[in-house]
Amino acid sequence: MAVYPEDHSYPPLRSVTWDLSGGGCAVIVPEEYMFPNQGEVKVWLAIHQQTGEIYYLQTKCKIVRVTPSKGNLNKRVSLEFLTLSKEERQLVVQYCFEKQLEQRRQKRI
């Protein structure tokens, strides 16, 4: 995933999600990266479906919370999706569902 500031006041960030849902995501951020505590950012997500298709989604997000690193947990930023269409949100929800099923299957093995 990639995070771009709306006002270009700091460099873009390439990262991975800590958590993902239809309403938003939490992004892992390097400790030294100066991420603002509020505002909006533009996010690019790559959603990999089980069918092999990859969907690239772009949305504006509201910065909800910045959680400092603690112990062995990295600094995280919680973001709320603001401009996903109904269809794009459904793709995210479907991806989350597929990942949950995959995790359950792996636990059974």
Tell me how many domains the chain contains: 1
Across 90-94, average pLDDT: 94
Residue 100 belongs to what domain range?
2-108
Tell me the torsion sign for CA atoms 59, 30, 70, 101.
Answer: positive
Q: Which helix (H) or strand (E) holds 87?
A: helix 86-108
Ramachandran region of residue 97, left (φ > 0), alpha (ψ -120 to 50) or beta? alpha
Q: Reduced to 3 states, what is the DSSP secondary structure of residue 12?
A: coil
Q: List pLDDT tens digits, range 80-89.
A: 999 999 999 9
Question: Each residue of 30-84: pLDDT tens digit?
Answer: 988 888 899 999 999 999 988 899 999 999 999 999 999 888 788 999 999 999 9
Tell me the C-alpha distance between 1 and 57, whole Å.
10
- Is 70 exceeded by the pLDDT of residue 109? no
For residue 21, the domain's CATH number is 2.40.10.220
